[in-house]
Amino acid sequence: MEEKMFYETSNVSVSNSRFIVDGQTYAMSNVTSVKTGKEEAKKGAGIVIAIIGLVVLFGVPSYLWGIIIIIVGVLAFLGAKDKYSVILSTSAGENQALTSEDKNYIESVVSALNESIVSRG
């Protein structure tokens, strides 16, 4: 049976027989299902830093330090990003095979993996 490619980038390739990610190879014959996982960003640190900045802003004669701390808190809050992952289900259990902050990238890999599973019949 000829190997048919469904998706290929520099570190990921999906064919009807193999899923290769960062040098790790998974046999598609062992994959029973695939899904997208999501890990929420932890934004609490940014909020705490901004609150500390507010306390410093109103509690210290120099406003500059309070403003700087608030800016750092806001940047930490905005910089926290959700992480998405490709989760493979096999008879041995679930395996998180790939993680990225790019939701579209993960969805395209999951779509290719689903195509590969369907092509097996």
Q: What is the mean pLDDT of residues 114-119?
A: 89
Can you tell me the mean pLDDT for 62-79?
91
Q: How far apart are CA 41 and CA 31, in angstroms?
A: 28
| pLDDT at residue 98, as a whole number | 93
Asked if 76 contacts 46 with a C-beta cutoff of 8 angstroms, the reply is: yes
How many other CB atoms are there within 10 angstroms of residue 70's CB atom? Answer: 18
**Exposure class string for 11-30: b at 16+ Cβ within 10 A, else e:** ebbbbbbebebeeeebebee
pLDDT of residue 119: 85
The whole-number average pLDDT for the span 51-71 is: 88
Q: Which of 115, 104, 88 is nearest to 32 (CA)?
A: 88
The residue behind tokens 């993680």 is 99
The alpha-carbon radius of gyration of the chain (Å, integer) is 22
**Where do the domains of the chain lie?**
5-38+85-120, 44-79
pLDDT of residue 4: 87
